[in-house]
Amino acid sequence: MTQALLKPITLHDLELNNRVIMAPMTRSRANNEGNVPTELMATYYRQRAGAGLIISEGSQISKQAVGYVNTPGIYSKEQVEGWKQITEAVHEEGGKIFLQLWHVGRMSHPDFHDGELPVAPSAINPNDKSFTPQGFKDTVAPRALTIPEIKQIVQDFKNAAQNAIEAGFDGVEIHASNGYLLHQFFASTSNTRTDVYGGSIENRARILFEVIDAIKEVVATEKVGVRLNPSLNGIFGMTLNEDTIPTFDYIVENLNKYDLAYLHLSEPFNDVSDLPHAEPHIAKRYRPMYNGNLIINAGFTQEKGNKVIEAGDADMVAFGVPFIANPDLPERFEQDAELQQPDKDTFYTPGAKGYIDYPSLAEVEA
Ligand SMILES: Cc1cc2nc3c(=O)[nH]c(=O)nc-3n(C[C@H](O)[C@H](O)[C@H](O)COP(=O)(O)O)c2cc1C
């Protein structure tokens, strides 16, 4: 019998060969002046084209959106040209690939902005670290965005989505997760604005829907996914409070109004079962609330992944770390083969080491 993870699925017109999704992962290999995607990256993604769908690493939508060294952008002509070699490589292997649209907001550092402050909904320091060209540095209190600047960011998301389609991507994923800009708007711990972007749940969620509405003018919503991490706590400057889950309930319910490619949710990244305001079971809570295709992520194994689909709690499973050291992950699931372990020291280092040198099963056997 075919494993649940290995059954094909159709996202509107897009036919995926299996439900093993490659989660977006920053690998910091665009180590050149313009943060242009490289040939090395094309090799890396080509090796992983057996995934039902690859979601690319976060790609900054503007110069202002960056927060980590050597991450690729999607705002310049050169970057669009660079990404083309990646989408072509994945398509040549019969794979599908979405680009993740990223604005880090306050999870950045003045070193990326000629000494100017990073931007965010409010001037509240996430008290975390930023990975700058000179190594890890403490984050600072950002500068609160003006309304015209927020409107510009919405346009930047739209332009970046259009660029992604021009670069040959099958769709885009809006990164509204993991403590980055859109998540900073959702959370009342990072958003204390008193205008239409702060205060009520509707106001704190507003920017996401403006981004989707703007993107929709240039890319059909059937090619747009949204990523959320509702129970994120103590990581990337995020802190749960009594507003958190009602806010995500509102967002998920309202995403039903759009015919999205999918909603991509993460289970809690750490143990939140004893915390008062956390939802420890994300798929179980949101599956009944969301009408479209659901991807679930974080900490899944082959066994757990098959189970969550069989139980009807998700349609697809995104695997992050397992894809780093196992380029042919679906093939390994098919064969019930052992998984290779990744080298954490090379997650973000430039070059081929720990990036494109993990062998496939076929290469190991040969
Ligand atoms: C090296 C690395 C880089 C990551 N970069 C991103 C990213 O760019 N965008 C994103 O949404 N999540 C990112 N994540 C989170 C993963 O998408 C995923 O949520 C996480 O690894 C948990 O899934 P897993 O247990 O299957 O690895 C990253 C994770 C790792 C390990």
To test the pocket of ligand 1, the residue of 22, 25, 69, 300 to mutate (highest count of ligand atoms within 8 Å of its CB) is 25
Which residue's C-alpha comes closest to atom 29 of ligand 1?
25
- Answer yes or no: is the C-beta of 319 below 6 A from any ligand 1 atom: yes
Can you give the pLDDT at residue 1?
Answer: 82
pLDDT tens digit string along 241-285? 999 999 999 999 999 999 999 999 999 999 999 999 999 999 999
Q: Could you report the per-residue pLDDT of 148-194, keeping only the tens digit for each?
A: 999 999 999 999 999 999 999 999 999 999 999 999 999 999 999 99
Stated pTM of the model:
0.98
pLDDT above 90 for 20: yes
Ligand 1 centre to CA of 24 (Å) is: 6
Please indicate whether residue 56, judged by its CB atom, sits closer than 6 Å to ligand 1: no
Mean pLDDT of 191-212: 98
CA of 1 to the centre of ligand 1 (A): 31
Dist. CA 194 → ligand 1 center (Å)? 33
Establish whether residue 282 lines the binding site of ligand 1, counting it when its CB lies within 6 angstroms of any ligand atom.
no
Closest atom of ligand 1 to 177 CA is: 11
Q: How far is the CA of 22 from the centre of ligand 1 (A)?
A: 10
> Would you state the pLDDT for residue 53?
99
The predicted model gives 127-136 an average pLDDT of 92
The string of pLDDT tens digits covering residues 32-73 is 999 999 999 999 999 999 999 999 999 999 999 999 999 999
Three-state SS annotation for the chain: CCCHHHCCEEECCEEECCCEEECCCCCCCCCCCCCCCCHHHHHHHHHCCCCCEEEEEEEECCHHHCCECCCCECCCHHHHHHHHHHHHHHHHCCCCEEEEEECCCCCCCHHHCCCCCCEECCCCCCCCEEEECCEEEECCCCEECCHHHHHHHHHHHHHHHHHHHHCCCCEEEEECCCCCHHHHHHCCCCCCCCCCCCCCHHHHHHHHHHHHHHHHCCCCHHHEEEEECCCCCCCCCCCCCCCHHHHHHHHHHHHCCCCCCEEEEECCCCCCCCCCCCCCCHHHHHCCCCCCCEEEECCCCHHHHHHHHHCCCCCEEEECHHHHHCCCHHHHHHCCCCCCCCCHHHCCCCCCCCCCCCCCHHHHHC
Q: Which residue's alpha carbon is at the smallest distance from atom 11 of ligand 1?
A: 24
Q: Ligand 1 pocket, 326 CB below 6 A?
A: no
pLDDT > 90: percent of the chain = 99
Band of the pLDDT at 146, cuts 50, 70, 90?
Answer: very high
Q: Would you say the CB of residue 321 lies under 6 angstroms from ligand 1? A: yes
Q: Is 23 in the pocket of ligand 1 (CB under 6 A)?
A: yes
Q: Whose CA is nearest to atom 23 of ligand 1?
A: 298
Q: Is 57 in the pocket of ligand 1 (CB under 6 A)?
A: yes
**Catalytic residues, which ones?**
180
For the chain, what is the mean pLDDT? 97
Check whether 363 has a pLDDT greater than 90. Answer: yes
